[in-house]
Amino acid sequence: MKVKQAIRKIIILGGGTAGWMAAAALANNPVFAAIELCLVESDNIGTIGVGEGSTPHLKRFMDNLGISEKDWMELCHASYKTGIDFINWNGDGQQYFHPFYFQMDVKPAEVFFINANARRRGHGNAVKPDAFFSSGVLAKRNLSPRPNKALPCTNEYGYHFDATELANYLKDYACKRGVRQIIADVVEVSTTQHQQIETLILANGERLSADFFIDASGFSAKLIHKALGVPFQSFADELLNDSAVTVPVPALMDSTQTQQAKYHTRATALSAGWLWQIPLTHRLGNGYVYSSRHLSANAAAKELLHSINLPESTQVRFLKMRVGVSDKAWHNNVLAIGLAQSFIEPLEATSIMMTQFTLERFMSLFERYQLNKQAETLSRQTLNQAVMQLVLGIKDYIQAHYVTSQRSEAYWVAARKVAISQRLTQLLKAWYQGEDFDLLLYQYDQQLAYFRPSWYALLAGMDYRDPKLKRPFEPISAEITAQAISYCQTLVEQYFQPKHS
């Protein structure tokens, strides 16, 4: 079988977090050592910059680059993230915490699962995840997830950060390792008769050629959609939020709480969406993610400012979001990443995780991809299937936040009535009717983006159940429940509580 011609040059179109993540990852990978890497970005296009939170996966990405937290966090105004506090999602003033789960939580988490199953089958009071996970206790006490002494296992946490500064940090990292940066506007893209990208034509007339291209051009998707015509699947009728209005405030100006959250994200439900509050070291990021079909931009700005006690004259920033996924992330000689590939609204901070997942899968397939035509096709199919599966899994979980809400505003009523997948329909039905939810989680294991602790945190936290249901179930004793809660508190005091607090 004929061996393919080796790839000698890769061009990344677009900077921002996604583009520079790609540049840094490839520059650090010995598989790409002999390949010329070039990134083209415009200084006339600003970054979206709203994704200031991460999942725990980002730590692995930075570790793989050999970057320590002390090297990047201060420069990016970063703080640690233990999870997300969901506030008033049922319109009753209640809240619950979606924690990051790690090995030390196994025993108390099991007690939470049993109590949650008892509740949904008609036994016992509402039970929330907050007290049964170490990160929930950390959030309640406003403590960092970085331990004061060595843990017997690896703990899980994410970050909050300034997305622009993170992109700048990764830019410096990549350029020091040989990535060439070109600041220019791409005005035209030429393709071959076989629908391969051939050259990027710059505003000054210069033509840039490469063997392979990575499309990190954001929502414009200049290569994957505009040049190659790969279809885009919109989720606009399944996830209603398509807009955001944002306003940062200095860290000491947070007037919404007596004690500002330092180590977790807040997600507060509002009339036509939800408000994020993300604590960085120098500012509190605030943003209202909403549906423009249910609220005007001016009304959204007014509601945002009122919610955080700022005057209506405060300057805000408006953003539009394209929610959906490319039919293919990898088509011919183009790999789409970041917003050019997919975007599920920022509720669970999954955008950077998707970029990281795509890059890691691409790098693992790259050597095989170069072997021959058959391996090339198989590599693309493998990545595209994996990306689509993860995107749809994320969509299921995000939709579950809305379709389980009991809020009565027109937006929330509409959000409950959207089309959902057969998989999500079965999961919600099993939970609501007191059936074997864990069996379904097991059956769908390979298709789910989120696993047992997250699903239980959401559905028990929302107290999603049939209030008339009474099915046989033996609840766990109050004594064991108290012991589980005490266990988490003791862990936090032993490993995370400051010595002189």
Instruction: Give the helix/strand (H/E) hosting 228.
Output: none
Sign of CA dihedral 134, 135, 140, 142: positive
Question: Residue 461 in contact with residue 92, Cβ under 8 Å?
Answer: no
352 marked as binding residue? yes
Residue 81, strand partner residues: 158
H-state helical runs in 69-121? 69-72, 106-120
In 382-409, which positions are buried (b, 16+ CB within 10 angstroms) versus exposed (e)? bbbeebbebbbbbbbbbbbbbbbbebeb
17 marked as binding residue? yes
Question: Residue 461 in contact with residue 98, Cβ under 8 Å?
Answer: yes
- Whole-angstrom distance, CA of residue 52 vs CA of residue 61: 16
Is there a catalytic annotation at residue 81? yes
DSSP label of 437: H
Question: Residue 233 in contact with residue 327, Cβ under 8 Å?
Answer: yes
Cα 378 to Cα 365, 366, 368, 373, 392, distances in angstroms: 9, 11, 9, 9, 21
- Whole-angstrom distance, CA of residue 333 vs CA of residue 376: 10
186 marked as binding residue? yes
Sign of CA dihedral 235, 239, 243, 248: negative
Residues 6+ apart with CB under 8 A from 339: 18, 48, 218, 219, 221, 322, 351
299 marked as binding residue? no
15 marked as binding residue? yes
18 marked as binding residue? yes
- Looking at 2, 9, 70, 81, which residue is catalytic? 81
Longest alpha-carbon distance in the chain: 75
Question: Residue 395 in contact with residue 239, Cβ under 8 Å?
Answer: yes
Three-class SS of residue 478?
helix
Q: Which residue has the tokens 């959250």?
A: 261
* Residues catalogued as catalytic: 81
Q: From the annotation, which residues make up the binding site?
A: 15-18, 81, 186, 339, 348, 352
Q: From the annotation, which residues make up the binding site for 7-chloro-L-tryptophan?
A: 81
Q: From the annotation, which residues make up the binding site for L-tryptophan?
A: 348
